Chains A and B, each alone.
Chain A
């Protein structure tokens, strides 16, 4: 990158039109640069206050008593001893929260605390507010609960059995059915029957969890007099929390203020209300004192809402030349005890599979069941990471059987840009071929892959993801995103946004757009976000929506202000407005750059002309980008990102240990607004997928009464710095007409293909297909030994001429 001194004098004014209505491209002074994040240094100095860092006078501590049983009726509960304990201020139980809630308005099926029954180990049954944590912990031990234990189910198909006891107390469908979706496009049965090659496979994606390093935490306080309830929460969906608090607590929304303090990671794990937010709010209302609840790490694991375990059966038809003729799948989702986002997850398990490959016939049938486990929900790449695992291994199997290069096979099925998928979703820009080409070149695939000996392999996979959902969670016609920007006479901008910065850098993204349009350096821009009293509503940090949606809203507001400021300067210089541009903290005459003024002065001129300089910007989605069938709006997005992963592995055939040596990930983000932040999203996604592939397993143990197999960060292993492979992030830019400056998402898409790329690399290395996650040493070793037995019997030729004991030399 050329020297981009954007701190002041060195900035180059643009050459094109500066007028907001002039759509001619002008040279960017910020877009695509690398930036220091607007809020990172204070985090590194240790002065940023996350939710658990908040202190208020008279703060009480809340602890929640949790069920030891996977499935039981609550026969009776006695809280009197806890209530009588010195230092205990209040106790609440499920009876204090009779109104059920759910992040999806169609499936409100959980209570803040259990009312009549518990549905998984760790379900909350009561909560106390006490003077300190030790007292609160002692008090919940004094709460006596009598349970009537019920049969528990840990497998979705067991739970769906006709004679199974119903788990969820609010379920209306019966038989533990949470959601069933069958969608068919074209004639998949005929397509598969008539195919030259049919690949059939059963896949099992074990559940995984988010494991953000910051545990969930919430603080509530009631203002004396006005009675306004303030809830600070480590949430990624302030607005949905706000709505559910109002509903469950029966307090009007305008009397509640929700603030999301700086957040310590989320990944989908904080994208709905949790029991602690309702408990601290209620306890604060009862006691008149501020109340805090911080989950223990064990509670974080039991609150879960992580990736659904999925059992998937796939049939994929191919023609001789490698074209996909049809896809049919049958999927069972293990939903856990509550719906969470499960309605959407069930759709996503099929709807998001129809790109980047084109195929003329498709059917998916997905069934989500309630089980006696912590509820599953959205984790980075919601619902579509699991089927992508199956799909990309299917393609790899086909390439081998057809004698085609796996990258070539993917190219042959490329769906292209500006066209609808088989299920009616409109794809705009599409950089998938560039993604494939980039990882092919960088990895040396063409020359290195054939040369790698036994034990070493390369694998490829591709994927797509949404840039936000076209429709909000609750139906309404209001904008999906809104931003307000104020300029003041000191030469500064304040950006008010409801968006939740969860570490992905959305505050910086907003500052970059504001900077680009208004000519201010980032340090002159203050982003105030996620405070419902200060900021316009935003729907939250989920489904990779913020850059496209909130970015567009911000761009709208910034352009309106740019027009006013440029107009005020042009008036005084007596030139057309399009001759004025804003960059490097100055307003500049494009045709005579010697003529320029500090932005503060330009803002003062504009304020004199227009009054206080504030503008709002809104964004709403296009409504013509989905199929016209029931469920056709689910999966519809303004724009789709594309990714290709290429993994290099080394497999030890004596131990089954898979060492991922390197990952190349090329991601089409439309346009990188801030380069290093986008790279960070690609690297973090690749890392997270790698962890799921190799070591992560969110197991609830039916053989041990439904307890979690290891609810801590030692037993639930996530990759350390020495486990993690070198990750090469490659930014591909296919600008999309729907995105701000062409930008699409980067936060979730780059996870999807990470996992199957590793699976396919393992096959290339040692010739074993791993259709079940994770690829742990016992599982890999068993597969290798099975293959070796078949080789010994003459059924299979030695993989890559496996020399047996001589082993690989490199």
Chain B
């Protein structure tokens, strides 16, 4: 085994010192060293998007990113997505929950990170086509994407839409 090397990473706003072999990917360090298991391994070769995280606000595939490449940059994972919200969950997560946009949920963290990066970049309500483009690198095998697109559009309206637009979210949903 290769000699571990000391890395300093900034993840979800916190600083971490990690000893990991230099060939380790960001995905491996997140999952194996930091136990940030929300980032998923679906293919380990950049095809499925389940491992998507944000580096400096851009969605990247953590399975194709060496951990050392993330040094000195801001890494955000799905675990950090709800931090800024008093409810502890981001409006995207809430919308995914209301629309049942996650079936097995395995691709969901990656999709949330791609969608979040997109709506933060556009900073306005997104169209269905924009939502589709925004998650085109994330494979979902359960949903047919329909409810994921619904949820992303809804969340973007809630976060960046004019006041009042937020109520046009369709039928009531049982919370209990």
Contact = CB atoms under 8 A, between A and B. Distances in A.
Give the one of A263, A679, A713 with max B CB within 10 A.
A713
B78 interface: yes
B141 A714 contact: no
A294 to B, nearest CB: 8
Give the one of A40, A266, A683 with max B CB within 10 A.
A40
Contacts of B56: none
List the 9 closest A-B pairs by CB distance, nearest first.
Answer: A46-B38, A521-B176, A503-B104, A687-B144, A264-B106, A43-B105, A713-B47, A46-B78, A683-B144
B141 A211 contact: yes
A5 B176 CA distance: 9
Given A45-B89, A55-B35, A721-B138, A262 B176 contact: no
Contacts of A727: 144, 146
Given A44-B89, A213-B107, A213-B139, A53 B176 contact: no
Interface of A: 1, 3-8, 30, 33-37, 40-41, 43-50, 52-53, 55, 87, 132, 134-135, 210-215, 262-267, 294, 296-297, 502-505, 515, 520-524, 585, 676-677, 679-680, 683-688, 712-714, 718, 720-722, 724, 726-727, 729
B79 A680 contact: no
B78 A45 contact: yes
9 contacts: A6-B175, A40-B105, A43-B108, A44-B78, A44-B102, A45-B81, A212-B141, A521-B176, A713-B42
Interface string B34-47: 01111111111101
B143 A212 contact: no
B122 interface: no
Nearest to A725: B144
Interface in B81-100: 81-82, 89, 93, 96-100
A46 B79 contact: yes
B26 to A, nearest CB: 15
Contacts of A52: 41
Contact of A724 (B109, B133, B145): B145
B6 interface: no
A34 B100 CA distance: 9
A36 B144 contact: no
A679 B148 CA distance: 13
Nearest to B145: A721
B23 to A, nearest CB: 9
A683 B139 contact: no
Given A46-B109, A264-B42, A503-B105, 7 more contacts: A44-B78, A47-B37, A47-B79, A267-B141, A505-B100, A683-B144, A688-B144
B42 A214 contact: yes
Interface string B122-154: 000000000111011111111111111100000
Given A3-B172, A35-B173, A684-B142, A45 B38 contact: yes
Contact of A7 (B45, B82, B99, B175): B175
A46 B144 CA distance: 21
Given A52-B41, A267-B141, A505 B103 contact: yes
Contacts of A33: 173-174
Given A1-B171, A1-B172, A213-B140, A721 B149 contact: yes
B105 A44 contact: yes
Contacts of B82: 45
Nearest to A515: B176
A84 to B, nearest CB: 17
A59 to B, nearest CB: 11
B163 interface: no
B79 A45 contact: yes
Interface string B52-93: 000000000000000000000000011101100000010001
B89 to A, nearest CB: 7
A36 B38 contact: no
B99 to A, nearest CB: 7
B97 A263 contact: no
Nearest to A43: B105
Contacts of B42: 213-215, 264, 297, 713
Contacts of B131: 721
Contacts of A36: 97-98, 100, 173-175
B143 A683 contact: yes
B159 interface: no
A722 B93 CA distance: 22
Contact of B100 (A40, A48, A297, A713): A40
Nearest to A585: B176
B112 interface: yes
B7 interface: no
Contacts of B136: 720-722
B78 A7 contact: no
A547 B31 CA distance: 35
Contacts of A215: 41-43
B60 to A, nearest CB: 17
A525 to B, nearest CB: 9
Given A40-B100, A680-B100, A48 B105 contact: yes
A541 B36 CA distance: 29
Nearest to A729: B146
Given A214-B42, A683-B143, A722-B136, A713 B79 contact: no
A6 B174 contact: yes
Contacts of B96: 40, 44
B29 interface: no
Contacts of A3: 172
A752 to B, nearest CB: 15
B50 interface: yes
A134 to B, nearest CB: 6
A693 to B, nearest CB: 13
Given A40-B105, A504-B103, A265 B176 contact: no
B48 interface: yes
Nearest to B38: A46
Nearest to A134: B1
Given A40-B96, A683-B146, A720 B139 contact: yes
B48 A713 contact: yes
A740 B135 CA distance: 37
Give the one of A215, A515, A520, A680 with max B CB within 10 A.
A680
B172 A37 contact: no
Contacts of A685: 144
B56 to A, nearest CB: 20
Give the one of B35, B48, B135, B176 with max A CB within 10 A.
B176
Contacts of A213: 40, 42, 48, 50, 104, 106-107, 139-141
A264 B40 contact: yes
B132 A722 contact: yes
Contact of B147 (A44, A134, A135, A676): A676
Contacts of A45: 38, 78-79, 81-82, 89, 93
